[in-house]
Each structure stands twice: as structure tokens, then as C-alpha cells.
Amino acid sequence: MPSSLAFKEAFPHTIPLLVGFILVGATFGVLVQQAGYGFWVAVFMSVFIYAGAVQFLVVGLLSAHADMLNIFLLVALLNARQICYAIAMLEPFNKTRGRIYYLAHTLTDESFSLLALVKPKQSDPQDFMLAISMLNQIYWVVGTALGALLGEGFTLNVEGISFIVTGTFLVIFMEQWKATQRHAPALIGLLSALGCFLLFGKVHFLLPTLLVMVCILIFFKRRLE
């Protein structure tokens, strides 16, 4: 377990995610109830799958009686971007010894953005990374549990709910922009996303964007440092 100091340092950085994760997690909990799978299935998925959009996808596929091979292939395709995150975090995670398995399991888009750019001032770096990962998952699990408990018996309109996650990313981006004077990586990310969006469209642009960003950052690593 991380130290109390690590949790104290990590918590302010995770505040932008707290509301978003609880609301979207609650939406997931309600949808699981509406699909007829119950409270413990919702909580189990948020603890052991913990993959945001993938969890929504799995519920839909299970409700449609899709076979397990199709579910596996679609989940692998949707989560292919995690390969880039894992490569980027390989060195810092290797220093955490046995904690690497939990950190790898909880490496979501949002957690990656914090782990890659936020550093502790007083606490142990390994404790700090673990605290951020644990807090983010706690928010998601709590949201899921609330949705599963409260969602039985009413219909939820989820139109526009996905913008909560988009808004969360914008808040994190703005805070990180103000916290550093080195804006080259952020600009590389924005221009890469815009170019790939125009080339590949909104459905397929994410993975090419990540690949382009990684290639550019590796090529200009020394100059950016």
C-alpha cells in the first residue's frame, strides 16, 4: 500500500477525474442493471476489467449474445492503444518491483496522462504512482457500485454522457499546460491528432495518432529534453 503522504500528494491531481469517473462509472452500473446482470457483475467488471469504454462494449456484446472470440477480438482492437502507453511506462514501472502488475492493470488513458507528467514533491515516486492508480480505480468502482445500486428499476438516457470524459481530458490538459513551460510535446500531440483526424476520420484516428506521436517524440527526444 502507498504511504499516507503519497495519497495526500496524489489526491489533488486526481480531482478532475473524481467527478467524471464517478458519473461515467455510475452510468455503466445502471446499464449493467438494465441488461439484467446485477450489482456484483458490475462491480466485478470495474475491479478486474477496469477499461472504461471496453466495459460498455462488453455489456452490449453480452446482451447481443456475441460469441467469446468476437468479444476478445473487438476488445483487443479497442485497447490496442494501450501498447503505446505500456512502452512509455515500462522504465518507471520496472522500478516498482511487484507493484508493476497492478500498475499495468490500472493503466487507463487518464491515469497514463497523470503518471507521465506529474511528479511527487515529497513522497516516494513509486508510492505516488501507485496512489494515483488506486485513487482513479476507486472512483470508478464507487461510481459503478452507486449506479448498480440505484439503477435498478429506471431507464437511463446516456445521450451526451461521453462528453464528461472529454471534458476531463481538457481539464487535465489545461492544468498540465499551465504547470510547465515546455509546450512542444503538447503541440506535437494536438497537431498529430488533428492530422490523423483529417486523414482517418473520427472512428479510426486514435491509434494512428499515438503511433505518430511516439515516432515524433522518439526522433526529437534529445531536443525536447
- For the chain, the domains span 4-160
pLDDT (tens digit, 9 = 90+) per residue, 153-172?
656 565 555 555 566 556 66
How far apart CA 132 and CA 12 sit, in angstroms, is: 10
What pLDDT, on the 0 to 100 scale, is given for residue 155? 61
Closest residue by Cα to residue 103 from 77, 126, 75, 76? 126
Contact 96, 225 (CB under 8 A): no
Contact 214, 188 (CB under 8 A): no
How far apart CA 148 and CA 140 sit, in angstroms, is: 12
pLDDT (tens digit, 9 = 90+) per residue, 26-47?
888 888 888 888 899 999 999 9
Q: Please count the CA atoms within 13 angstroms of the CA of 129 that sit on its side-chain side.
A: 26
CA distances from 96 to 113, 117, 163, 210 (A): 18, 17, 34, 25
Q: Please count the CA atoms within 13 angstroms of the CA of 68 that sit on its side-chain side.
A: 0
Q: Poorest-confidence range of 47-61, 91-105, 179-193?
A: 179-193
Residue 49: which H helix or E strand, with range? none
Q: Grid coordinates in use for 95?
A: 522500478
Percent of the chain predicted with pLDDT > 70: 84
How far apart CA 105 and CA 121 sit, in angstroms, is: 25
Residue that has been written with the C-alpha cell 455489456 in this structure: 59
